[in-house]
């Protein structure tokens, strides 16, 4: 429960920063990287906690995170 609360707090503040920093592309990109890293680390940590982490699950979190980061990068830098 403690880790989920930390996950929610980081997700909330990085999402809020992303939304409020509409003028600064660097801050938006940093917020997106923090958000995606938080997702990846939380997912891997939860599977480690229940001892069900496999290579397939690890790759799934990594690829979903990279896909989300690529989409956010495109949204930030597309003019």
Are the beta carbons of 40 and 14 closer than 8 angstroms?
Answer: no
pLDDT in tens, 18-70: 999 989 999 999 999 999 999 999 999 999 999 999 999 999 999 999 999 99
pTM for this one?
0.90
Query: CB atoms < 10 A from the CB of 42, how many?
Result: 18
């Amino acid at each position: 429960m403690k880790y989920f609360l930390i996950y929610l707090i980081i997700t909330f503040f990085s999402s809020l920063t992303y939304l409020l920093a509409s003028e600064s592309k660097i801050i938006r990109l940093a917020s997106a990287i923090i958000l995606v890293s938080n997702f990846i680390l939380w997912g891997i940590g939860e599977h480690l906690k229940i001892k069900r982490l496999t290579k397939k699950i690890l790759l799934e979190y990594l690829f979903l995170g990279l896909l989300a980061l690529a989409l956010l990068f495109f949204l930030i830098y597309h003019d």
